Amino acid sequence: MSFAVVVAPLHLFVCSLIRSKDLADRLAQSLSSDRYVLTPFHQTSPFLSFVEQSKHEIDCLILESAPDLAETVEHLHKALALLPAIVLIPEGAVANPEQPIIYHEAEVQLELSPSAQIAGQIEPAIANFLKLAATCHLPTFPDHEAQTNLSMQQQRLSEKLKERLGYLGIYYKRDPQLFLRHLSAADKQEFLIELKQDYRAIVLNYFSTEGINQQIDALVTKAFFADLSVSQVLEIHMELMDIFAKQLKLEGRNEDILLDYRLTLIDVVAHLCEMYRRSIPREA
């Protein structure tokens, strides 16, 4: 079955899985403004098919708590469908400190009280997702592919918010607690190992892969939300070039070829600098 997604640039595209007709009607009423485009589902199978096919266009999921929700979420994980999400749970459940994470660490859990404002939680859910650390645990395999998908989704949502608010809106949605300098020693090490692996992949594929811009965007988004400095990117580049130079020397090959990868560094740094530049509040 084929699905087509047509969304105006400034709309937020919301997809829901709601079994209860009354709740589905309430959600439709809540999202009736021109700001949102809602695609509702009552059954799991068509919902999963739609999300898997349209995950790069969806801005937020709204999931009703149900006995089979864990199984639904497992399918989302396997499909690498990591998206901002609101999970609607029974009244009183959020107050329970042992209420488990259902989908991922950035989800918004909302009690189904009569006064609950579902629409008002969409942008907080997106903001939480944009802050989701690259070092967080994601229950999906393979882990590296999941992290790359997460970074790409964050980049896409950042671009959409840029259209609505400019980079200023994105900048203030960063969480300083997730900046590299504020991470624990273990999380900092894990983040840098991941970032170095991502940068190495970009260098190796820079002159041969058509999708290299997406890889650079994903890396730059990760660096931006970690408040990584340009000098740290330069250190990563020089460390990698030193490793390559030693390998070439052992193989008796000329290391001058490494000079070509200055273009890779310039490309990545230019992307990162532009993101930082446009995030600075403009003077009135």
What phi and psi, each to the nearest 5 degrees, are found at residue 231? -65, -30
In terms of Cβ atoms closer than 10 Å to its own Cβ (0-12, 13-18, 19+), residue 172 is exposed
Q: What's the CA gap between 138 and 82, in Å, rounded?
A: 9
Q: In this predicted structure, what is the pLDDT of residue 110?
A: 87
CB 194 within 8 A of CB 147: yes
Q: In this predicted structure, what is the pLDDT of residue 62?
A: 96
Q: What's the CA gap between 53 and 49, in Å, rounded?
A: 6
Q: Is the pLDDT of residue 241 over 80?
A: yes
Domains of the chain: 12-131 (3.40.50.2300), 180-279 (1.10.1240.30)
Six token digits for residue 106: 């950035």
Q: In this predicted structure, what is the pLDDT of residue 164?
A: 52
Six token digits for residue 266: 């310039």
Q: Is the pLDDT of residue 258 over 90?
A: no
pLDDT tens, residue by residue, 75-112: 988 888 888 899 998 876 654 555 678 888 888 888 88
Among 30-44, 88-102, 127-141, 255-269, name the one with the lowest average pLDDT.
127-141
- My answer on whether omega of the bond before 142 falls inside 30° of 0, hence cis, is yes
Query: Which of 147-151, 199-203, 249-253 holds the top average pLDDT?
Result: 199-203
Q: Could you tell me the pLDDT band of residue 135, with boundaries at 50, 70 and 90?
A: very low
What is the value of pTM for the model shown? 0.53
Instruction: Please give the order of strands across the beta sheet that includes 108-111.
Output: 36-41, 12-17, 60-64, 85-89, 108-111
pLDDT tens, residue by residue, 153-171: 667 666 665 555 454 455 5
- How confident is the prediction for the chain on average, in pLDDT? 79
Among 167-171, 235-239, 265-269, 275-279, name the one with the lowest average pLDDT.
167-171
Q: In this predicted structure, what is the pLDDT of residue 33?
A: 74
Q: Between 166 and 187, where is the model more confident?
A: 187
What phi and psi, each to the nearest 5 degrees, are found at residue 138? -120, 120
* Mean pLDDT across 163-184: 66
Six token digits for residue 33: 């403004």
pLDDT tens, residue by residue, 19-41: 989 899 989 988 887 778 899 99
* Residue indicated by tokens 């595209």: 13
Q: Between 178 and 273, where is the model more confident?
A: 273
Q: Between 10 and 115, where is the model more confident?
A: 115
Q: Residue 5: count other Cβ atoms within 10 Å of its Cβ.
A: 14
